[in-house]
Amino acid sequence: MSLRLILAVLAAKLVMHISRLLGKGRGSSLPGMLALRICPDLLGHFENQPRTATIMVTGTNGKTTTNNMLAGILEREGYQVVANREGANLITGVATAFIRSSSILGRVRCDYAVLEVDEAAFTGVTKWIKPRLVVIINFFRDQLDRYGELDTTIKNVLAAVKQLPDSTVLILNADDPLVARLARESGYHSKFYGVRPVQELSGNVAYSREAKFCPFCGHALEYNIYLYSQLGDYKCTQCDFARPQPDIEAESVTTGVGGTTAFLNDDKNKWQLNLPVRGMHNLYNALAAFTAAYLLGVKPETAVAGLETYTPATGRMESFRYGSKQVVLVLVKNPTGFNQALSGLLTGEVEQDVMIAINDNAADGRDISWLWDVDFEILTRTPEKFKRFICSGQRAEDMALRLKYAGVSPTIIEIENDFSRAVDSALNGESGAVSVLVTYTALWPVEKILSRRAERMKQSVDYSVPSVS
Amino acid sequence: MSITVCHLYPDLLNLYGDRGNVISFVQRCRWRGLDVQVREINLDNPVKFEEYDFLFIGGGSDREQSLIAADLGARVDSLRAAVEDGLVVLAICGGYQLLGRFYRTPEGKEIAGLGLLDFYTEAGNRRLIGNVAVEAEIGGRKTILVGFENHGGKTFLNGLKPLGRVLFGNGNNGMDGLEGARYKNVFCSYLHGPLLPKNPVLTDYLIALALQRKGIGTELSPLDDSIEERANKAMVKRLLG
């Protein structure tokens, strides 16, 4: 027990307390940052404190959702869990999560630590804390000016995995060749999850695909089916690299505005899942959480029940009500996530006003070129669904320009850099529904404005799939 | 009469939304009632460069660049002939570097480029990343081009005409204040953004050059560019005040 550690924890707890009093943000990174300054080996003190194990979730899209789903399942099973739930996934956010649950002497009482870790921070965090399970969900092109190219990201994660003890188990997305390859490349024991590739699920958003070539021999990958982005049923045209048969596979999948239903199959038994959030990407998040829980020995029925009561964290698709209008807030970070959000817009049945807020701070990615990799062109297939597009944020003009070149009529494009005025304009439009799509640093301010103007719904309001036990 | 666009290696060279350049070129033709065809040429696809009016080549990661250098190297004579004949080309970032004489690695090894333009690139010790503003003269009009650069290589022109002078950012090498390169109807730049949507003066100039080469009248009808100008000005104001 070092004095430094106690000092670090005290200082961090003081900052948490003050930021709570001032109501300034949620203080999910700053306390950890301060504590690490005072005690750089802080995480080492926490490493062996979870009584059972530490699980880490990394990858590009869906870390927060997957992590929160898994933490929710474990809590439902009766475990005490430490988790960084707000998406603060750098080393500072991990430190904050531990400190929040620790005594002033730095003691944490928990059974599991469930940690979402940024791909770029994975090496740094695993230097201090060795997880028993690593869940790797997908790799998409993200804010390139921060990370360098996707190849580098994958190589770094692989190198960090190889530093972990031999007993570490990887939980991998079978449908993403960029993830599945890690089983062979690392040589670690791996379990796979995936969605049974049937024609009905074949996605119609085709652009921004990575992984056109086999990571082992360099020849072209051939796809039987694309589910979305590079996820699908693939095999190399030259060597034996192909989609592995998943240990847990989702089948009979139906997706709708209300949510997603599927059967989860472990080759012996099947469990029906009614997931209250829409989109294939959320089914993958649920599959990843389910597979991790399954391997940890949680009863599958408990895991399913945990997933069915999942409520999205801020901006990972939140619902509000404004008068008679439904308002949906969605975080968009990269082309794949944005394409998913656009597919969501197309499922709406009433005409909508759409607000898109694009910032270019470091956490958003300073380079906003990626907007041109998003398939906005699909919006022009059903022009009757969209009344207006209100572009906001630091790069409102660039967003407007992208829509114009996608074929959206400039007469329905507005530019309003100020969030407050943009939200007002969107809420007070003539259409029956509002969708708000925002980048990371626009999320908190827009969410704050929305929650002042509109009533927050507890759960995805359009969830209408009956629960089956 | 239709304008034919060649998008080279879109499967491999499509970093940083570079396809936005093709979208921009195509839309600005279509909005004027000009017929445009885009053909995507990937590895090993046969290509006759003399059949095209506009050729676009984007940037890729290192592994992809080396695949392409080999593929394009095998057909460099036909490309050189087309360039000398006035083919309109836009090459961005990695595609730009590829057209030069060589790329010198940190170990001092020189990897041969296509040698179509007289410049060379060497590995830098840090990546040059950020927003850029460039003063350029396009078709006799002074204009400010804006974009975003992200490159490790530093390019040096051997007296070749640059695309413009850097007002903000690094440009070719962060040292001589030059950005991009021009030779005949070939335009090279490090600017993503992508480059063409926010810089419609350049886009229209490329279209006009392509039409001119086909022997069609080059008076382009004006378009409502208010969103384009707003996007350009917003960045100019942020960078230059």
pLDDT tens per residue, range B139-175: 999 999 999 999 989 999 989 999 999 999 999 999 9
Closest CA to A108 of A136, A83, A76: A83
B17–A397: do the CB atoms touch at under 8 Å?
A: no
Average pLDDT, whole number, for chain B?
92
pLDDT of the residue at A252: 93
Sheet bearing B54-57, strands edge to edge: B35-41, B2-8, B54-57, B88-92, B186-189, B181-183
pLDDT of the residue at B205: 97
Q: A2-16 burial string, b = 16+ CB within 10 Å, else e? A: eeebbebbbbbbebb
Into which CATH architecture does domain A317-456 fall?
Alpha-Beta Complex (3.90)
DSSP 8-state class, residue A278: -
- Chain B CA closest to residue A413: B227
In sequence order, the β-bridge partners of residue A325 are A322
Instruction: Report the length, in residues, of chain A.
Output: 469
Cβ-based contacts of B12 with chain A (< 8 Å)? 212
Q: Look at residue A467 and tell me whether its pLDDT is greater than 50.
A: no
Average pLDDT, whole number, for chain A?
89
B156-166 pLDDT, tens digit each: 998 999 999 99
Give me the mean pLDDT over the A296-315 stretch.
87
Closest CA to A355 of A332, A378, A383: A332
- Between chain A and chain B, how many beta carbons pairs sit less than 8 Å apart? 74
pLDDT of the residue at A179: 97
Q: pLDDT class for A458, splitting at 50, 70, 90?
A: low
pLDDT of the residue at A108: 93
Residue B104's identity, in one-letter code, is R
Query: What percentage of residues in chain B have a pLDDT greater than 90?
Result: 75
What are the C-alpha distances in Å from B99 to residues A184, A294, A379, B116? 38, 54, 37, 5
Q: What phi and psi, each to the nearest 5 degrees, are found at residue A199?
A: -55, -35
How many Cα neighbours within 13 Å face the side chain of A233? 13
Concatenating the DSSP letter of every residue in A144-162 gives HHHH--HHHHHHHHHHHHH
Q: Which two tokens stand for residue A11?
A: 């200082």
Q: Look at residue A291 and tell me whether its pLDDT is greater than 90.
A: yes
- Determine the Cα–Cα distance for residues B22 and B37; give it in Å rounded to an integer: 11
Q: Is the ipTM of this complex over 0.90?
A: yes
- Determine the Cα–Cα distance for residues A43 and A41; give it in Å rounded to an integer: 6
B16–A366: do the CB atoms touch at under 8 Å?
A: no
Concatenating the DSSP letter of every residue in B71-111 gives HHHTTHHHHHHHHHTT-EEEEETHHHHHTSSEEE-TTS-EE
| Catalytic residue numbers of A, as ranges | 367
Whether the CA torsion A419, A422, A427, A432 is positive or negative: it is negative
Residue corresponding to tokens 């001589």: B176
pLDDT of the residue at A462: 37
Point out the residue among A150, A368, A405 whose CB comes nearest to the CB of B24: A405
Task: List chain A domain ranges.
Answer: 3-308, 317-456
Give me the mean pLDDT over the A434-445 stretch.
94
Q: Look at residue B74 and tell me whether its pLDDT is greater than 70.
A: yes
- Determine the Cα–Cα distance for residues A186 and A161; give it in Å rounded to an integer: 7
Residues of A at the B interface, defined by Cβ within 8 angstroms: 144-145, 149-151, 212, 366-373, 397-398, 400-402, 404-407, 410, 413, 415
pLDDT of the residue at A227: 87
| Catalytic residue numbers of B, as ranges | 93, 192
Closest CA to B196 of A405, A149, A377: A405
What's the topology of domain A3-308?
A: UDP-N-acetylmuramoyl-L-alanine:D-glutamate ligase (3.40.1190)
Q: pLDDT class for A257, splitting at 50, 70, 90?
A: low
Q: Are A267 and A294 in contact (CB under 8 A)?
A: no
Q: Are A329 and A446 in contact (CB under 8 A)?
A: yes
Q: Are strands B119-138 and B141-157 parallel, antiparallel or unpaired?
A: antiparallel
- Chain B CA closest to residue A410: B227
Give me the mean pLDDT over the B113-123 stretch.
95
- Determine the Cα–Cα distance for residues B91 and B98; give it in Å rounded to an integer: 9
Alpha helices in chain B (DSSP H): 19-30, 62-73, 76-84, 94-98, 195-198, 200-214, 226-240
How far does the CA of residue B68 sit from the closest CA of chain A (Å)?
A: 14
Point out the residue among A145, A369, A415 whose CB comes nearest to the CB of B17: A369
B227–A397: do the CB atoms touch at under 8 Å?
A: yes
Among A338, A359, A367, most B C-beta atoms within 10 A, so best to mutate, is: A367
pTM: 0.74
Secondary structure class of A300 (helix, strand, coil): helix
